[in-house]
Amino acid sequence: MSSHLEPAAPVNPVPATYSRLSVGQFAERFRGEVIPLSNTFSYFCASLPMSDDVLKEYLEEPVAALPPAVAAMLPRISILLVPYLERSAEKAKAAKRKKPVRGSVERLLDFVVEDRPADGQQSWASTVEFENETVLVFALKESDVADYHYRFFRNLAALVAEQWPKEVCERYVELLREELSAHFHGEVDEAAWQAKQALQRRQSNIKRETQLFRDYARHSFTDTLTLYLHGICCDIDVETGPRQLPSRHLRRRLNLLRNTFPPPAGYGVFPEDEISK
């Protein structure tokens, strides 16, 4: 599918007609109201007024920055922008334990609400899947645009990771095995870091194709692709720290992704690239 942008007139958010709906209920109610943004993306706003500047910053720019090869892998996507998302008690407990709630439960436990949730119950993004469409729901109040962009690209990276082509998987896994054999420390983000720690604690032979290794590879690919996509769209800095993969090894991964998913014309990945953003 193409990510070519179609002109879209700015609109104001709809009047609030809900008090507390699950993300699934909210998506069902408003999915017919979405406005086309491209061949792949549509959107509906129940939060910020969508002036030209807001529409460009939150929707047009991140969609335009997607590599064509990534856009072609995505399903039809509707983006719903809402005031707040509230976790259920079960999901809030899982967040405190830093253990994700798996599968369909994770996708259905958030609620769209108009008022700020209690401390510990606030969520920022949720996903609902229909037969021919994926709905991404984002809470915008009290969230700055940089955080929104990160969550946007992370959700897209997770969708790509669910169906990454065999040749891409093989090249990335080969790179991971090289890193593990050389005892390179660190990862890109928390999910991959935790998966890497679990793998290294419980599996000494990294050449074995186990569920632990597959989980680590998927988290690592998702985190690295998120950084790659975010970096194409925005000027971001990678924070250094004891859990961060050293920059020279991170650059190898980003080079692999750049060769696999070249950025659109006029966009770059590294500071030396000529870019239009």
SS3 labels along 162-220: CCCCHHHHHHHHHHHHHHHHCCCCCECCHHHHHHHHHHHHHCCCCCCCCHHHHHHHHHH
Same domain, 228 and 109: no
Give the pLDDT confidence of 144-195 residue by residue, as tens digits. Answer: 999 999 999 999 999 999 988 889 999 999 999 999 998 888 999 999 999 9
Q: Which domain holds residue 78?
A: 20-161
- Residue 64 and residue 33 in one domain: yes
Assess whether 140 and 185 both reside in one domain.
Answer: no
- Indicate the residue among 161, 186, 221 that finishes a domain: 161
Residue 29 maps to a domain: yes
Same structural domain for residues 28 and 157? yes
Domain match, 200 and 93 both: no
pLDDT beyond 70 at 270:
yes
125, 171: one domain: no
Q: Measured between alpha carbons, how far apart are the two ends of the chain, in Å? A: 23
Instruction: Find the radius of gyration of the CA atoms of the chain.
Output: 19
Task: Please tell me whether residues 28 and 155 are part of one structural domain.
Answer: yes
**Residue recorded with tokens 């750049």:** 258
pTM score, two decimals?
0.84
Query: Poorest-confidence range of 13-17, 26-30, 75-79, 125-129?
Result: 13-17
The tokens 């892998």 sit on which residue?
73
Residue 103 zone, left/alpha/beta (φ > 0; ψ -120 to 50; rest) = left
pLDDT at 79 over 60: yes
Do 149 and 184 lie in one domain? The reply is no
Write out the two tokens for 153: 């690209």
- The span from the CA of 243 to the CA of 186, in Å, is 4
Residue 42 pairs with which residues in a beta bridge? 36, 78
pLDDT at 247 over 50: yes
Residues 40 and 117 placed together within one structural domain of the fold: yes
Domain count, the chain: 2
